[in-house]
Structure 1
Amino acid sequence: MLKAERVAFILEQLQALYPEPPIPLDHKDPYTLLVAVLLSAQCTDERVNTVTPALFELADNPFAMAKQSVADIQAIIRPCGLSPQKSKAIQKLSEMLVEFHNGIVPADMDELEKLPGVGHKTAGVVMAQAFNQPAFPVDTHIHRLAQRWGLTSGKSVAQTEKDLKRLFPKERWNALHLQFIYYGREYCSARGCDGTVCPICSSCYPNRRKPKKTLKA
């Protein structure tokens, strides 16, 4: 397939499999989503969803969370990993939301990225899922799929994000981010497919015989 044909095929397949992909992290508003996404770094969504009920019982808004001690936050989120850094970030970003944004999560990429523990990908997820603004957050898993499907040769998630945004319609970015994630988990995981096994890989590259080596982000 030519690249344009692959793009059309991938769009069709992902839409057929996941027509309305749900947001995997449990939340009730932009703030609880922001905290959940921060916690999901190097942690599964499933584990985050088991931890956040207790955390949000302790504090579910910036005003309340800013008053909590880092130690109390850390005690709850320890199962998510990287708890020393994440607990400090949650407490500090809550303070900053209160001080600079009246306790409201800003619907602005630049302002989000100024918050502790909030990188470009986290900010993109919040923009897409909390505010329905077009974004295509790319993590290492999406980076791997994009390489296997011949959509990018980028050596970084930043370059892969640029390539995917150029290839796919802007109105599809938010859904595609989730569709990539769900497809990767179900059909094209790091260990479950080597670029030759899953339906999309085998359809896009039917003559590929050797595993597709992907460049780590």
Structure 2
Amino acid sequence: SATGKMAASMAHEFNNPIYGIHNVLEKILRRVKLGVNNRRFVKLAIQECDRITGLIRKILDFHSPSPENKERMDVHEAIEDMVLLVQNSFKERNIRVVKEFAVDLPCIEAVPDQFKQVILNLLQNAGEAIPKRGGTVTLITSVLENNVQIQIKDTGAGISKEVMKNIFDPFFSTKVAVKGTGLGLSVSYGIIKKHHGEIMVDSFPGRGTTFTLFLPIKQETPVALPRRA
């Protein structure tokens, strides 16, 4: 689309000077004798360049997703891989991970990197929603008709109905921290839709949040959710 091309063009324009600044700072760090505080400031500037580069990459990924080279995937193995990435930060914040995995869960057909990105995004969101005193993130898998169902529940602050209306919109974020870009859930939504799946959120302030993924066991059969009574 025209919007996608414009976003990609702008992202590349930003990326070039950031890359140059990053290289200059790296050379200063290697070649110039700096005091402890000045070295710290230069390292901080390099980290901020890396953070901007990461945001640019997210923008490019959002508008130009990777090719759909789907493979048969073990859902539990992919989830375990992503739990490993967050376990240190979860441990520091006293967040416990509970796994309620279905026995003999069928494999799904998915682009591995994209599916793992969705799981990681939801795990990070769950962790960030939990207060400093700690809490629990529960991972549940099951089979619902012809779909694999994955639930990620947290005991965090919950989300209001007003916020939930826009939660999958690009650049919409409930995070007050600077690191929140508002792209994670939107990208996740797009990935799940590309896999003929569905993503739903159920939340209430003070009671935590549950994100539920539905992915077809066979890609040629799009998800058809049962009607709620």
Q: Which has the larger radius of gyration?
A: 2
Q: Which TM bucket (shorter chain)? A: under 0.3
Q: Scaled by the length of structure 1, what TM-score is found?
A: 0.25
Q: Could you say which structure has the higher helix fraction?
A: 1
Q: Scaled by the length of structure 2, what TM-score is found?
A: 0.24
Q: Could you say which structure has the higher strand fraction?
A: 2
Higher relative contact order (CA 8 A, sep 6+): 1
